[in-house]
Amino acid sequence: MHVGILYSRIRRDEKLLLSELRDRGHDVTKIDVREHRFGLDGTTAPVEDVDLVVDRCLATSRSLYATRFLESYGVPVVNSAETAEICADKAKNSLALAEAGVPTPQTEVAFTKEAALEAIESFGYPCVLKPVVGSWGRLMAKIDSRNAAEAILEHKATLGHYEHKVFYVQEFVEKPGRDIRVLAADGEPVAAMTRSSDHWLTNAAKGGETDAFELDDEALELVAAASDAVGGGLLGVDLMETGESYTVHEVNHTVEFKALSEAADVDVPAAVVDWLEARAASAGDEVAEVTP
Amino acid sequence: MTEVECPECGADVSLYDDLETGEIIDCGTCGAELEVIDVNPPVLERAPELEEDWGE
Arithmetic mean of pLDDT over chain A: 95
Number of H helices, E strands in chain B: 0, 5
**Does residue B10 lie in a domain region?**
yes
Residue B33 at interface with chain A, using a CB cutoff of 8 Å: no
- Taking alpha carbons only, the member of A31, A36, A42 closest to residue A7 is A31
Arithmetic mean of pLDDT over chain B: 94
pLDDT in tens, B29-56: 999 999 999 999 999 999 999 888 998 8
**Does residue B13 lie in a domain region?**
yes
* 3-state DSSP of A37-95: CECCCCECCCCCCCCEEEECCCEHHHHHHHHHHHHHCCCCEECCHHHHHHHHCHHHHHH
- Domain extent for B9: 2-46
**Does residue B42 lie in a domain region?**
yes
- Residue A210's pLDDT band, with cuts at 50, 70 and 90, is very high
Query: Which pLDDT score is estimated for A289?
Result: 65
Q: How far apart are CA A72 and CA A83, in angstroms?
A: 15
**Does residue B52 lie in a domain region?**
no
Q: How far apart are CA A203 and CA A113, in angstroms?
A: 28
The CATH 3.30.1490.20 domain(s) of chain A lie at 107-171
Instruction: Show which of residues 7-26 on chain A sit within 8 Å of chain B, judged by CB atoms.
Output: 7-11, 14-15, 18-19
- Taking alpha carbons only, the member of A28, A9, A7 closest to residue A280 is A28
pLDDT in tens, A134-153: 898 899 999 999 999 999 99
Cα A275 to Cα A187, A189, B15, distances in angstroms: 12, 11, 32
Output DSSP code: residue A164.
G
Q: How far apart are CA A114 and CA A10, in angstroms?
A: 42
Cis? peptide before A79, omega within 30° of 0: yes
Q: Assign domain A107-171 one CATH number from 3.30.1490.20, 1.10.1200.10, 1.10.3720.10, 3.40.50.2300.
A: 3.30.1490.20
- Residue A287's pLDDT band, with cuts at 50, 70 and 90, is low
**Does residue B12 lie in a domain region?**
yes
ipTM score: 0.87
Ranges of H-type helices in chain A: 12-23, 60-72, 81-88, 90-99, 113-123, 146-159, 217-229, 258-263, 268-290
- Phi/psi of residue B43, nearest 5 degrees: -130, 130
pLDDT in tens, A5-20: 999 999 999 999 999 9
Provide Rg for chain B, Cα atoms. 11
pLDDT in tens, A273-283: 999 999 999 88
| CATH assignment at residue B23 | 2.20.28.160
Q: Are B56 and B42 in contact (CB under 8 A)?
A: no
Beta bridge partner(s), residue A109: A168
Q: How far apart are CA A55 and CA A5, in angstroms?
A: 6
From chain A, pick out residues whose CB is under 8 angstroms from the CB of B24. 9-11
Domain count, chain B: 1
Nearest to B52 among A9, A30, A134 (CB): A134
Which residue in chain B is spatially nearest to A256 when comparing CA positions? Answer: B56
Measure A35 CA to nearest chain B CA, in Å.
Answer: 12
Contacting residues for A20 by C-beta, under 8 A, at least 6 apart: A269, A270, A272, A273
The CATH 3.30.470.20 domain(s) of chain A lie at 174-270
The model's pTM: 0.93
- Taking alpha carbons only, the member of B22, B6, B5, B15 closest to residue A56 is B22
Contacting residues for B46 by C-beta, under 8 A, at least 6 apart: B7, B8, B32, B33, B34, B35
Q: How far apart are CA A68 and CA A66, in angstroms?
A: 5
Q: Are A113 and A158 in contact (CB under 8 A)?
A: no
**Does residue B15 lie in a domain region?**
yes
The answer as to CATH 3.30.470.20 being correct for domain A174-270 is yes
A18-44 residues labelled b (16+ CB within 10 A) or e (exposed): bebbeeeebebebbbbeeeebeeeebe
Q: Do A136 and B35 touch (CB under 8 A)?
A: no
